[in-house]
Structures are given as C-alpha cells and as structure tokens.
Amino acid sequence: MQTMNSTSQQNQTPPLSIRNLWVEYSVERGLVKAVRGINLDLRPEESLALIGESGCGKTTLALSLIRLLVKAATITQGTITYRRDGQELDILSLNSRELRRFRWRECAMVFQSALNAFNPVLRIRDQIYDTARAHGVTSREETHQRALELLEHVQLDPKRVINAYPHELSGGMRQRVLLAMSLLLDPQVLILDEPTTALDILTQRTIIDLLRRLKAELGFSMMFISHDLATAAELADRVATMYAGNIVELGSVADIFYHPTHPYTLGLIRAVPTVTGDFEELASIPGSPPDLIDPPSGCKFHPRCTYATERCRVEEPKLEPVLGIGHTVACFHHDLVEQDTESLAKNHSHTTRKNTL
Amino acid sequence: MAELTRSTQPKPLQWLADFGRSIGRFLRLMSRNKTGFLGFLMFVGFLLLALVGPLLIPEETSADITAIYETPSRAHILGTDSQGKDIWSQIVHGGRDIIQMALLTGALSTFVGITLGALSAVIGGRFDATLTTAADVWLTIPRFPLLAVLATLIKLDNLMTLALLLAFLSWAGLYRSIRAQVFSLKERDYVEAAVALDLGLGHIIFQEILPNMMSYIAISFTFGMTSAIYAQVGLVFLGLVPLSRNWGVMINLAWTQGAIFFKDSIYFIMAPVAAIALFQLSVVWMSRSLEEIFNPRLRTG
Amino acid sequence: MSEYLIEAKNLVRRFGSRRERVTAVDGVSFGIREGEVVCLVGESGCGKTTTGKMVAGLLKPTEGQVSYAGEEIWGEGGKKGDGFKSYRLKVQIIHQDPYASLNPSHTVFKILSAPLLHHKLVNSRAEAMDRVVSLLGTVGLGPVEEFITKYPHQLSGGQRQRVSVARALTVNPKVIVADEAVSMVDVSIRVSLLNILTNLKREFGVTYLFITHDLAIAKFFAWEGRIAVMYIGSIVEFATTPQLISDPRHPYTKALLSAIPEADPELTRRKQRFELRSQDIPSLLDLPTGCLFHPRCPLFEKGLCDVKRPELTPIGGGRFVACHIAAREAGRS
C-alpha cells in the first residue's frame, strides 16, 4: 500500500471523468430517467459537492460510479473513466473481479445509513480484516497497522476501538470508524453520501473538520452528495447543483454561493437560514420535484421557475459558461438571475458580517 | 368537483357498476401473483365442487357388488370403492363438510385471536399479563391428543360443535402473533395522532391498527383453515368423530378395507388424500395473492 | 390566573427497569404564553422530544405536572385529571416523519374527516367535505379534487406534512407541538411549511412548542419568541431568540452556535470556534457529578462545577441560565 506521491498534485488529469451518463430505473409505471446526460470531472485532490434534493439523481449518480446500482437500474449511455499514474480504466466495462479491486482500493464510498453498516456480532477489527481481504489485501499485520494509524487520524483511541463491538461505540464514533475504514486501502477517490445528515450539530462539526484534515493530509479527491448547503459551504472547492437528473450549475464554491446564476441554485440559497447575523426573510421554491417517469418538457425546472418563458417550456438548456472561471450554468435567463443576485450580494455582504464569538 | 357530484346525485344501478368495478379490481390484484392466482382459482373450484357439485351429481347410496374396485372408466371417473360405489361422487359429496368446517373454524379462531390480541396489546397492564400467561400455558398443551381425548367425552356429530372446539383449542397461537403485530403498530405516529385527536379505543383498534394488518389477518385465517382440516381429517380417520360423507371417512374406510394392498383399489385411498392435499395447497397458494389485495400501496385514489 | 397558556412544571420522565433506570427528562419547567412560539433546541438524547410528548399529553410524566389554562391535566395516582378533557383537543402534535405520520390505509379525506365526524364538529358528510376543502386550502394543498382521494403513498413528503398540519387543525387546537416537523422535508419546502405554521399563529393565534435540533431553523421560526436549549434532560439556557443568538451565555449554547455549519463559505470557514474540552457525550447510565456539562466545559471550575449542580437562574431581561460562571458574570454587570 503506497501513499499518494506528491507529483500527482501537479498532474492535472482528473482521476474520475464522467461523460454523457444516462441511468434509468425500470419500475411498474414506466422508466424513471434518474440521470440524464451528466458530464463531470473530479479533479485531483479537489472536494466536489453534488447538491440536490430528493429525487434529483445524485445518489444514483454516486452509485453508478462504483457500479452498485440495483438490478432494476440500467446505465443506458455514457462512460466513466478512472485514471491513476497515467493508466485509464473504463469502469463500466470492468468484470466483477476487477470491480472488487477497484472498489475500496481506488475508490471508496461511505453511505448515508452508515451508522447501521456494521455487523453487530463482529468486532471492529474483524470487520476491517474482512473488508481488506475482500478487496485483495491478505496480510493481517499490514491491515492491522494501517487500521491503527487511521483510527488515530480520525481521533479515536485505536487500541480501544479496534477491539470493540459496534454497539459499544456512539453514532459519531461509528461514523469516524467508517471513514477510517474507507481510507484503509488508500483510495484515490472518496465518495460520501450525505456525510452529515442525521448527525447532531457537534458531531457534524467533528466530521466536517475531520474530513477537511484527512483530505489535506492524505491527498485524496472527495465527492460528496448532500442536500445540505452548509456542508458544501464548509468543505467544497467546487459545487454542482443537480435537478431532475442533470447538473444545472457548476462552479467554485464562492461563485455558487455568492454569484449563483441558476434559478434553482438561487432558490436553494434563499431557502436556507443562517444562524449568524440578523433575521433574514427566507423564500421557498413553489411546487414539487418533477415526476422522472414523465418529466416536464423543455427545462425540467420551468414549472417552478419565476424566470420561465415560452422558450423554457420547449427547449432544454445546456450547460454554458458564464463569468467566473469554470462556472457553467444551464439556463436561458441566467443574466436575469445574475442581476437579482447582485442585489443579494449587496444586502448580505459577507465581508462585513460579524463573527459573534 | 367530481367527488361531490357523485355523492349527491346517485345514479340508478350505480351500486352495480361500483360492485363490478370492485370485482374487476379484486381480480386484477389477485392475478399479480401467478401462484396466488392459480391457488385462488383452485380454491374457487373446490368451493364450487363442494357446494354446487352435490346438486348436480347424484349420491350413490346402494352398493353394487359386481363393480368392486373398478379402475377409472367413462362410467366411473375415479373408479369404484370396496362396495362398488362411485368414488368421484363420494369426493363431490364429501367435500362440503370439510370445507364448511374449515371456513367456520378459520373465521372463529381468527375472530377470537384478533379480539383478544388487539385488546390485550392496547389495554395492556394486568389484563394483558393475565391473558399472555394463559396463552403461554395453553400452548404447551399438545393439541391433537387433547382433541382425541375430548372427542371421546363430547358428542362431536355436529359440524358447529367441532368447529367451536377446534377454534377454542387454537386461540393461543393466533392471539400471540396478533398481539405482537398490534404492539408494533401501536407505536406508529399516526396512532399517536389518533390518540391526540381523542378518537377513542374503538376507532384506534378498528380503523387505525387492524386495517394495516389485513394481509396478516388474512394469512392467519388461511393457516387457521389448513390446521382445522388436518385436525378434522385426523379425528375422522381415527374414527373418533361420527361424521359421514367426508373425505376423512373415505380414508378411514379405505384403510380399514385394506385398499392400499390392491393395485386396483389404490384410487379409493388416493382420491380423498389427493383432494385434501390439493385443497390445502390451493389455500396456501392463495394466501400469496391475499398480500397484494391488502397492500394499500397498490391502491390509487 | 397564570400568564401562561400551557405550562410544564418540574417535568421528570424516567424509563427502564429498576436495574437500569434512565432519566430522560430531569426537572424541566417553562411556560408558553398564548400566541407565543417557544423552541426546544438540543442534540439527540437531550430529552426534547420526550418533553414535547409530555406537554402534548401523550406521555405521562414520572413526576411533575402539565397545566393548561391554569388547570392541571394529571390527577391523583397518575390518572387523567379533571382538566384533561378540555385540554385534550386543544393541544395537538405534528410528527417528524412524513412517511409514518399518516395511516397508509386511509385517503386524505378519511384522515381529515374522521376527527370532524367523531367529535360531531360537523353535522353531515357534506359539511365534512366543506371543512376538509377549507383545511386543505389553509395548508396550501390544491386543487382539492386531486388530493382528497389520494392515499399517503401517492403524496410527496412535503404534501404529507401539510396533511398532518391540516389534521391537527381539524379540532381547532390552541397549542401545536411540532416535533422536528420540517427535519425530514426537502430544504426548498421547509420554508413554505414554516410559513403555513406562522400564518396560523398570526391569523388564529396558535401557540407553538417547536422542537428541533437545527438552531438556524429555530432562529427563523421563533425570532419573535423564545428558545430553550436542552442538555441531557435539563434546560441550560432560556432566552428570547435575538438574545440567545447574539449573546449566548451558557458555554453549551456558545459551543453549538460556533459549531453550526452555515450556508455561506466565507462566514462558516472563518467562524471562531468555541472549543470544548471533550467530544464524549456522557452515558445516561453514568452521569457526571455536579453540572452535567462540566467534563466538556472550558469554563470549568474545580470544586464548584463538579460538585454543585447549577439551577436555572434568572439573569435579568427575562433570561435564564443554568451555569455558575455565567450567573456570576451576570451578577457582576
């Protein structure tokens, strides 16, 4: 198990590239088009947040990356390419043996229902050995050492935790063990599904700080899916907002939060309260998420959009670049949104915000 | 508003249309599960056989010693028995008692199980503790030997008596499983809301909890039926119950007549055995479809 | 005559057998005035939901009392008191999980008409229909024909929560206990749900006990009200929302406010942290001596905080705090 060498920092080829990915679920009522033509790169050592609400396809997308979709789901189009040390792997064409080597060693995933991911009758150390062995690492000694190191990294008492049963640990501790386990085989890419949802405030804080530190120390690329804008604001370098199976806006975290150009992104930001500062009016987005079996025509967001025009009902916008490096948005009226955002930025100038403590 | 107009202006024969639609929906839901639907068809077949059959096929009462143990032929579809009587007609006539009793026992034991189980779980306290202990004790009693003993003490020539007795003996198992189900449903948020809305114990049991246990109840009913049939057939086979015109009686007769020893007479014993086995199978298969019927997620408003 | 519409008096709730007894709520007292919003905020295990259920009369307190309109609802021997009947319909609850709060076998019409018909609040089914239509309008579910015949599984999470609110409204309650009512709903829908609740307050004077772990939502919903912060079964700070947010006194409140991630990158990454001495939450079976927060508290004073348990003390301006240090500092200024 080698650790990442520093030359990869200069290496600009993204470890993970998704091109034109389409995923469909077959259910009784019809075909659910959960992911509709996603193009995305995960850059080396970057932290990318996929923000969206229930039913936007973000979890389907994440599961496709390690091919953990259910039987009813089919990847109908597109490619997922993984790169490391100049070599390329077409993820969608791997057989099951190759997949097992890919998962956990190259790309690890931490699930949302993480707290129940443990086998209650096995000690932590046995679950760690099993995981390592399942993915091709048979040396118990090596695994043990690495595990102790990582448990230390996640600020747990290694000797105590490695010999414990899951029920002896608190929810926050289990989450940290899972993080440690995911990094066991030194993956280049870490995918987290809702890492902070359902956690208490102080535990959230610990996990967020931990992720930040781990990423800085171990140098992996991180993609996390969340509906929580605050987590993205804390951890992300870039943010992609997803709606109805598409990415509707992609940009740096500053661009997304301070210069959003898609009505949905703006809507999300306006719907989330902050604790610091005075009372702010919030606005919700009218309507409900679309039916993915029979989605609206044209732009999928148009029924809920205050900027929608006839063109939006007919044509679906593609991601186009706007101001800001690497900032793209899929909206015909992004300039109108930009104007409204300007006034938003003026009223809530982040540079004049007071820290209360 | 569509809903309002329908309720304020009832059309003539509207009920017939609604009924037809319900039947259609029922059949559609039943057919979702292939095995279940097959079981359902078989079950209906048996019901028709037992209830309508006797009206169509005459009962043979006279023996015909020239036609002992005849193999199946056009005159006698399943052959004849040791007295030359047609086996097929005996099957047709022998089903009614068994099936009626199975339905009756199933219904009675399910009713008792639901009432006691639901009340026990909802009321709790000493009532619950007493009943549970009683059930636990009851379950340790071996049912069939007790049944055999009781059969010698009570005159079991009446269908109703037998059904009641069997239901009485099997209340404990159903009580416990219904109670467990109700316990888990009782904690649901919507039940708590009903408590906050002060909708009353009756509403909570019959409107909030039981409708969400229907598939469980239906399956308990089918198992009540199957175990009742086995009990009855067992009793009849052992000659403890003086019923006639019954599949169990046929087996008893065939056994005592030594029908298993002759090649030609095998139909005499196999016919009732097969009939019982197939009926049980139809009930068990049908229970699979019952789950679909009672699944609220398949309802569309 | 009490100034409070509904009052919790020294509520205590214990769970478990004689061997393993856990005190989920240990002496909680507060009052809510008519038309007011009081938020109970805290992390999981602090006892806020248990307190909420006791206030809603769905859980009997092991000790202590709940009063509604001056009358105590629990009588002798733990039986329902004389005040219970008039109280029952006046205090309703909205649950957290939209997927568990509605009976899956009932249509929306049945869910909403059941209480109306049972309590004879309407005289006929037609009248019930009118009332249901009006309720659906109040919670913003329309067109009505589309909803009345639907089953819960055909509705989205946000829609189900609205039906829950409508159901609570059928009996014209004066107090609604909202137990994490928006936590499991999409972010973009939360605000509209909270706005419905706020409108009910403005139009009908509904009083709220709003339970949440999200301080940001508490700040938004209860800006004109008060927030009580709970830690392991007791209230540690109780103040008006603007006071609590801008000038927290209890170290736990300070820690929470500084730890919350916020949807503003610059702000949240530069926020100054109020560091705690330990991340470990004490087990309910082995609680610390003195102040329950002392093992984690940076203001800890040996000999005081690990010996004497602080009471919820008034520190002026209608504020209360349960901390020896904070009370002392407030006494000085």
User: Which residues from C are below 8 Å from A272, CB to CB?
Assistant: 187, 216, 263
Torsions phi, psi of A44, nearest 5? -60, 135
ipTM of the complex: 0.91
CA A56 – CA A47 distance, rounded (Å)? 20
pLDDT tops 60 at residue C299: yes
Please list the ranges in chain A whose pLDDT falls under 70. 1-11, 113-115, 343-357
Mean pLDDT value of segment C161-183: 95
Over the stretch C197-246, which tens digit does the pLDDT of each residue have? 999 999 999 999 999 999 999 999 999 999 999 999 999 999 999 999 99
Whole-number pLDDT of residue B17? 77
**Radius of gyration of chain B from Cα atoms?**
23
User: Is C188 within 8 Å of A172 when comparing Cβ atoms?
Assistant: no
Candidate from A234, A272, A284 with C-beta closest to C189: A284
**Nearest-by-CA chain C residue for B189:** C101
Rounded to two decimals, what is the model's pTM? 0.85
User: Which residues from C are below 8 Å from B4, CB to CB?
Assistant: 126, 129
User: Which residues from C are below 8 Å from A176, CB to CB?
Assistant: none
The chains in contact with chain C, meaning 3 or more Cβ pairs closer than 8 Å, are A, B
pLDDT tops 90 at residue C52: yes
SS3 assignment, position C189: helix
**Nearest-by-CA chain C residue for A265:** C188
Average pLDDT of the residues of chain C? 92
Lowest mean per-residue pLDDT among B70-74, C41-45, C192-196: B70-74
User: Which residues from B are below 8 Å from C118, CB to CB?
Assistant: 197, 199-200, 203
Candidate from B1, B207, B296 with C-beta closest to C145: B1
Torsions phi, psi of C173, nearest 5? -75, 160
C160 touches chain B (CB under 8 A): no
Over the stretch A94-106, which tens digit does the pLDDT of each residue have? 998 888 888 888 9
C124 touches chain B (CB under 8 A): no
**Nearest-by-CA chain A residue for C142:** A287
Whole-number pLDDT of residue B189? 94
Q: Which of C73, C2, C98, C33 is nearest to C240 (CA)?
A: C33
Which of residues 209 through 228 in chain C touch A, CB cutoff 8 A?
213, 215-217, 219-220, 223
**Nearest-by-CA chain C residue for B210:** C105
User: Is C102 within 8 Å of B208 when comparing Cβ atoms?
Assistant: no
Amino acid making up residue C79? K
Q: Which of C263, C292, C297, C291 is nearest to C279 (CA)?
A: C297
Whole-number pLDDT of residue A351? 38
Q: Is the dihedral of CA C285, C288, C290, C295 positive or negative?
A: negative
Question: Digits of tens for pLDDT over chain B (301 positions)?
Answer: 334 444 444 566 777 777 777 777 777 777 777 888 888 888 888 888 888 887 877 776 777 777 676 677 777 777 777 777 777 878 888 888 888 888 888 888 888 888 889 889 988 889 999 999 999 998 888 877 887 788 778 777 677 787 888 888 888 888 888 899 899 899 899 999 999 999 998 899 889 998 898 888 888 888 888 888 888 888 877 777 776 677 877 787 777 777 777 777 777 788 888 888 888 888 888 887 877 777 777 776 5
Q: Which of B192, B215, B194 is nearest to B203 (CA)?
A: B194
A230 touches chain C (CB under 8 A): yes
